[in-house]
Each structure stands twice: as C-alpha cells, then as structure tokens.
Homo-oligomer: A and B are copies of this chain.
C-alpha cells in the first residue's frame, strides 16, 4: 500500500482492488466495519469513511443494519442511433421506444400541468430568448418497470407552442414534435450537451440515489429547417447506473 496516503484511503484502495479482482463478487457482503477495523488496525469510524468512498463511486451499497454489498450495477442503456439507415422518424429513437423494444414497461406522467414559465438561463441561451421571455414547460418523471429512470423537462417558446394542444398530459416527444411539424416548426437538427454534476436533493429522492451522487444532465436542443430553436429538453439520469450510446455513419 502506497505510503503517505491517508490510511482510510488506502483501505478504500485495498477493498476497491479486491472487488475489481473479483475477490468479492456482485451481491457479496463485505466484512463488517468492526471486523475490518481490527484487520486494518483502525477505528470503526475510519473504516466507515473508507466504505463511504466506495459507495460514492457506485461500487458498493451500504444498507442500514444489514451490511455492505457489492453492486452488480446493471447499467440501463439509453441509445441515440443517429443513422439514416436505422431511423426514419424523429420520435422513433426516443427513450420510451428504445426501452419498450426490450419488453419493458414505461410510464412518464406529468408532474404538474404544463405552464408558461421563464426558463433558466442555460435554456434561454440555447433557445435564443431574451430575459423574461416565456416558454411552455412540461415536467415529467419517467419510470421503467416501476423503477424511476429519469427526469425530463421540456421548454418550448410560446411563439411555437401556440394553442393549448401541446399541453396534453400524455404527449411524449414524438407527439410534441409531430405537432410542431404540423405548424411548420418540425425539428430536423438536434444537439445534445452532456454534463455530469452532483444530484440535488430533489433529484436524488426521485432517482433513489444518494444526494450528490453524479447524474447526467443532458440538454437536447431541437432546431427546425429554418434554423429556429424550437425546443430544449433537459434530462437528468443517474450517471453511475446509465450507459449512453451514440451511433452514426460517416462515409467519405
């Protein structure tokens, strides 16, 4: 073990290596904190700190009164197949479709009624809106097989949102995009910006992860044929349990 490094960190390194070596497999229980305290010559508190590190990395789950368990961490995939040979319709690569292909059941109820709001700055900037310009907000919490999967918040400038029919409770992205297309604002170009940050308390509660655990914040901007930004959608997903996939062709 590397000297000069804090002892509780070396314990974390040691346990991490043991898990990666397969010494403890998925689902296995690690020795209790008092046991490890004796083995490493540290107090229980310091062992607890070491295990908190591994929990933050998504390697183990600490269960109150039960023990520390190695996670199998089956990652949920989220695909964007960006290939004209594969997809022909804007909505067909959506999350729900991708998930249902694998026999999963999804639901995405609206958290509250769609309403007109001033969007946060990073959204307003992408929509090319000035301060205090309004957008139609659609806030959805999405589930797969009764497990929370992601938070999706969509912003559409009121100019393009028009009538109230975009405010339908069950409309997914494909429906929304279809409605926009009917009005001549059909999106044809997309940009996704992906960042990672710590989860807020609210996000953590819904996604059933620890507050501060890394989440993906994916901001998708939809642009129509005239170059107008017609929608921005912010997706929050648990980063340690998600695999994002992007595929594309690039002929000479």
Interface residues of A (CB under 8 A from B): 2, 9, 12-13, 53, 56-59, 75, 80, 82-84, 87-90, 181, 186-198, 201, 211-212, 214, 216, 239-240, 242-252
Contacts and interface: CB of A to CB of B under 8 A. Distances in A.
Contact of A196 (B87, B196, B252): B196
A248 B190 CA distance: 5
B248 A197 contact: no
Nearest to A187: B250
B246 A191 contact: yes
A201 B53 CA distance: 13
Report copies per complex. Answer: 2
B244 A189 contact: no
B80 A246 contact: yes
Contact of A252 (B2, B59, B90): B90
Contacts of A240: 196-197, 214
B194 A59 contact: no
B250 A75 contact: no
Contacts of A244: 193-195
Contact of A250 (B13, B56, B90): B90
Contacts of A2: 201
Contacts of A89: 252
A151 to B, nearest CB: 17
A3 to B, nearest CB: 14
Contact of A246 (B13, B187, B192): B192
